[in-house]
A and B are shown apart, each in its own frame.
Chain A
Amino acid sequence: MTESLLINLSVVTLFLPLLGFLVVIFLGKKFPKIYLFELVVLAAALVISCIMAFNKLTYFNGKDIIASLSWFKFNNVAGIGTLDFEIGVKIDNLTVIMLIVVNLISFLVHLFSVEYMHGDKRYTRYFAYLGIFTFSMLGIVITHNLLMMYIFWELVGLSSYLLIGFWFEKKSASDASKKAFIVNRVGDIGMFAGILILFTNYHTFTFDKIFAQISMGNLPFGSTAWLTAAGILIFMGAVGKSAQFPLHVWLPDAMEGPTPVSALIHAATMVAAGVYLVTRIFVMLTADAMFIIAIIGAFTSFIAATIALTQNDIKKVLAYSTVSQLGYMIMSLGVGAYAFAFFHLVTHAFFKACLFLSSGSVIHAMHHEQDIRKMGGLRKKLPITYYTFLISTLAISGVPLTSGFLSKDGILAGTLAFGKLTGYWFIPATGFLVAMMTAFYMFRLVILTFHGEPRDQHKFEHAKESPFVMAFPLVVLAVLSFFIWYTPNPIGADEGWVLSSWIKTPHTVVPQESRFNFMKDEFKAEVTPVSTIVPLQVITENKVNEPVKDAVVTQQAIPVEIHEKAEPVESNVVHSEMYEHTMHWAHYPAMILSVLVGGLGILFAFIIYQWKKISADKLAEKMHALYYFSNNKWFIDELYQNTWIAFTLLISRVLSWFDNTIVDGVVNGAGHTTKFVSKLSGLFDTFVVDGLVNFTAFFSGFVGLNFKRIQTGKVQTYLILVLFAVVILMFVLWSY
């Protein structure tokens, strides 16, 4: 397989779901069975992306395959010259892995929905929406520039809006969709501003060109502060999309959408887009930006976990757990554990999709009952769902032998290393605390739902296991939550193929002084400074200065330029070798600690909910304030309601008053004046102008009436007239 073929295949994968969307949305009314086309298309996309991933990771491992073409150009822009807007595809290892994750989960969710959504009155439209979502998500994954990223970013926002509000007859659903859309816009404004900072300075949206400029020491407006600002602003987009504090409020509400949608969009793929965005801009993040990102991630994971402890809606618990895990990934990126953040993105996508689909299966079996207080004992009725749910719960809790253990352990090791090097120990402390809470609330969920005695006998009697098309995706996703797919060694993810050869931390391009300075005094003596890292200039300079000549002619009609980066340097250097080194040191302590805290969390869950040694109600009473606080989601929604929203409403009320009285007054005044003037002019018209016209007509009529009498038609009358005329003429002439 050649590189051009890979490029072509990626474009084909991108447009297949769009084709599915178009066909299903336009033919859905006429042929209700057409939704099957969407499934076929998704299956094809999945197969193609698997082939791509196999070839990419086998033959082009670590190589960035980039194809770009000029979308449109502005020639002779004042002070700049030619502004070239490019569109293009960048296929690196991350891309192909994400392609598989997105297509696989999307396909399984489609399959699951066939049964879950059965009988819905907008059945085909649902599949069409899933198609446009998959298209936009794939667009985010394969694009090589910020402009296209932003476009697809908004498209996933749109499809998320459409799917959250899919049952728009419900007020809560339509409200939730609006909330999601608006909250995301807040983040996107920041992202847009960040993109514009970069574009103003570098006149390009393409990632690699921007990074090349930065690595040559060409900073935005000449200062690292602007670079930090650009990084944080673009990260704001991720804050919105990945539901980070303070914009996390939309995600729990988004659970109003159909459950498979929650699995696909609000757990596995779209919310991970924010994390993916940060991995894309990772190399240009300064130490300050990364520190802020780490703090936001840590804080988000903490508050979401505390809220999840006390929720009673099965989907709400999972939603907050998603927010918490996304916070984990963001925190991991912030502390520099890039590879583990992406690894956790992948593993989390599988086990969280499995959790959501399993919860969908439970909800389906319980006839749309979501309250876990009314469940219980479902293990006997739903054996398959129980085991898949249990396996993915084990994975999210970080129990050894699961995929979640590997990635979570890596993240925790990363935070530990960060704590050791910088002295900010609160970040690893938060990480471990959240790990414990995660294990606790996830097992609380399992025990309350599946163990014990049924609390709603009637619903329990009618519950029955889901059919094959629903169970199959669950099983596939549960199987993918085991360690064996990622590494042969269940306690050492580093040795697995994913981390040892597929995901490499890229070299930062920010200037020396704004990288993390891990050289606390005690380490300074023993570590060589960061300058030993091979700078990126070598790779990137020639790419910028001489536009790529070695264009490969591809089978496509449009000429696609293909160029490549040089092989990345072998060693897996993060910000300094020190960090890498410390992470290895932190590996075993992190593992032991995470198993310990996870086990502790699980133990507590069993003590309280399974064996009932401690009454949950009494505990809640004892810590009434905390319980109240957590159960009400830290009152963040209320806070926004009373500050931003109230403020916005106030402003809009003032503005509406201004509009209604002053602006409308001016307009109405103008209207009244015009009306008056036109009335006057109307009067003038009716009486003067029309009067003249009518008078003329009347006069000629009068004259005509009187003169028509002489026209008798009789010869003799005329003769008499002539005679008179002659006589008169004669008299007249006579007088001269």
Chain B
Amino acid sequence: MLKYVIRRTLQMIPLLFAISVVIFSIIQAAPGGPEGTLLDRGMFVDPAAIDAYRARLGVDQPVYIQYFKWVGAMLTGDMGISFQTQRPVLMMILERMPDTLRLMGLSFIVAAIIAIPLGVFSAVKQYSTFDFLATGASFIAIAMPVFWFGLMMQYFFSVKLQWLPVAGTMTVGVGGFMDKLKHILMPATVLSLHSIAGWSRYMRSSMLGVLNQDYIRTAHSKGLEKRTVISVHAVKNASIPVVSVMTLDIARLFSGAVITETIFGWPGIGRMFIQAMHARDYPLLMGIMMMGSTMVVVFNLIADVIYGWLDPRISYE
């Protein structure tokens, strides 16, 4: 087991290097340098001033030198300096991290609490009205653009009913627990929508597979109560693949956070990403994308490890 984790961790290193090359190349392909934001405004800028600006940001050097400088610095934990704020990218990301983690964490918990029972009941009562409704709802949820669902929520709960605040993390000057909860409720629901739909479908089919197994029949024939059979024998085994999918999805929640945070004015990393894109803040963009990719790679490993740990039939040799 330990050997496996070490081997996989070592394999991550070349993958992360390859990712850094791709991300760097894509950012390099951007038309116009960082001075573009000045020129966009239609101002006349002295060419000498532009050269000085480029030299200060270090974008006047050959591409490969820029790359090695960037990667070299990243190995020491330095992700570069933001073009826009002149502050270290790592610090900017770390500042925004708590809000994003709070949002992603709550979405994850909400999604898990709703999706798993939903999937279990759908499977146990296959083809019932409940199953039909749950399946229909998850199909609809998957067919909705996340941002549109967010806008509809805002329209009903903020504009029409005025129950929940439209955006932000808290009311200025209030900021109590209830106030924060009210603010996070809608974004967390919107972010968890696709996870609820996906995981409940997955749990349902996994559960259906398990319910046909011999050991379930054995448990029934031993005279165990139906409840016990389902909760102890079936759910436990059916959740093994689902847990691994859920772990993989943690990293995917980050993509959803980009849209959700933008709609709800949530000051997390996703919204900072969109702001960085508009400002052509390349070091910040590269930093956030590197962080997102690292998350995917790491959670991939964690998912595999959890899978093997939960399912003793999987061998790592």
Partners in one complex: no
